């Protein structure tokens, strides 16, 4: 994997700003990291721990995804998403709010989900997963709320650890871990990790963006690890299937800060760099010979929060 490491280093150097990359093949255990222990503004990647904190409440029987809540003026904030444009008093289920939070990165929907979890529960879940430096500071778009100074923080190797725990069903129940990955499978933002991957590549991921900041992290699956499927004519209007690929995926985390290109377009240099980095990882792991089952990656462990 030295070639991949060198490629990632060149991409970061050419793009300006500060980049961190982490990849881990969950079949072979091969890891490539660059600045993976450095803290970055979390942006919308923090929505994944928020989702997991909600699902932890479901596991404990303290909430249900079918519970409803009403949109208020206080929930509303700018940035990504559509809930800010909906009328106050609209009732939605927690599942629908969580879907909007992850799939559309909806900031207002995130604040609704936070009403069900609270900030402390999110950070407790992160502590239980061994992610002690990734922190949620406050609700989104509410800078006057009390809390640590500055934006929420995330550390690449901790985000990688978190998504691996979910894949291994070690953070929640297997059913709820699958539910979390299905939320992430429906991600609509395609300008970063999926951008240069072969069409049809399966991913479960979450992006994050601020001025001078672009992130993407999650899992991608290599086609050679999947059983062959019969050819089907693509129907762009078909609803997505509630299924996950069966093979072992690759964890990827790509984070950046201090990016001088402040354009909010798909031509933003950080977005292009992350797309190229994920494609480089895809090519590198696709070229790696498969390991025998005896050499499969040892699992990470989490302190499961008891009921």
What CATH number does residue 200 fall under? 3.40.710.10
Residue 298 has pLDDT above 80, yes or no: no
What is the tens place of the pLDDT at every residue in 106-145? 999 999 999 999 999 999 999 999 999 999 999 999 999 9
Domain contains 33:
yes
Residue 63 covered by a domain: yes
Mean pLDDT value across the chain: 91
pLDDT band at 288 (very low <50, low <70, confident <90, very high): low
Band (292; pLDDT cuts 50, 70, 90)? very low
Q: Is the pLDDT of residue 235 over 80?
A: no
Sign of the dihedral through C-alpha 119, 57, 180, 25: positive
Query: Residue 132 domain-assigned?
Result: yes
158 found inside a domain? yes
Number of domains in the chain: 1
CA distance linking residue 67 with residue 64, whole number of Å:
5
Angstrom distance (rounded) from CA 271 to CA 189: 11
Which residue segment(s) compose the domain that 15 sits in? Answer: 2-226+245-292
Residue 303 lies in a domain: no
**Predicted local confidence at residue 303, as pLDDT:** 45
What phi, psi does 34 have (nearest 5°)? -145, 115
Residue 261 scores a pLDDT above 50: yes
Residue 98 lies in a domain: yes
Is 239 part of a structural domain of the chain? no
Structure token pair of residue 136 = 């949620």
For residue 282, give both structure tokens: 């895809």
Rounded Cα gap, residues 277 and 197, in angstroms? 10
Q: Is residue 297 part of a domain?
A: no
CB 32 within 8 A of CB 280: no
Alpha carbon distance, N-terminus to C-terminus of the chain: 41
């Amino acid at each position: 994997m030295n070639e991949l490491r060198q490629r990632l280093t060149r991409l970061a150097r050419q793009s300006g700003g500060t980049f961190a990359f982490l990849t881990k093949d969950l079949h072979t255990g091969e890891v490539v990291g660059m600045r993976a222990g450095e803290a970055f503004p979390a942006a919308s990647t923090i929505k994944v721990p928020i989702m997991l904190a909600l699902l932890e409440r479901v596991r404990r029987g303290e909430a249900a995804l079918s519970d409803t809540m009403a949109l208020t003026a206080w929930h509303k904030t700018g940035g990504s998403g559509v809930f800010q444009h909906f009328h106050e008093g609209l009732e939605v289920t927690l599942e629908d709010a969580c879907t909007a939070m992850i799939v559309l990165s909806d900031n207002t929907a995130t604040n609704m989900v936070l009403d069900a979890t609270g900030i402390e529960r999110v950070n407790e879940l992160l502590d239980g997963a061994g992610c002690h430096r990734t922190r949620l500071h406050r609700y989104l778009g509410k800078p006057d709320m009390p809390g640590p100074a500055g934006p929420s923080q995330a550390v690449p190797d901790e985000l990688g650890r978190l998504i691996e725990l979910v894949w291994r069903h070690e953070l929640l129940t297997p059913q709820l871990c699958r539910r979390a990955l299905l939320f992430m499978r429906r991600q609509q933002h395609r300008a970063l990790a999926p951008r240069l991957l072969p069409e049809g590549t399966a991913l479960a991921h979450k992006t994050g963006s601020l001025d001078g900041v672009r992130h993407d992290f999650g899992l991608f699956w290599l086609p050679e690890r999947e059983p062959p499927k019969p050819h089907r004519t693509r129907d762009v209007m078909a609803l997505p299937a509630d299924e996950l690929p069966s093979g072992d995926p690759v964890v990827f985390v790509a984070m950046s800060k201090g990016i001088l290109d402040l354009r909010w377009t798909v031509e933003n240099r950080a977005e292009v760099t992350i797309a190229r980095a994920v494609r480089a990882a895809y090519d590198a792991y696709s070229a790696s010979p498969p390991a025998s089952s005896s050499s499969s990656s040892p699992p990470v462990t989490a302190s499961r929060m008891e009921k």
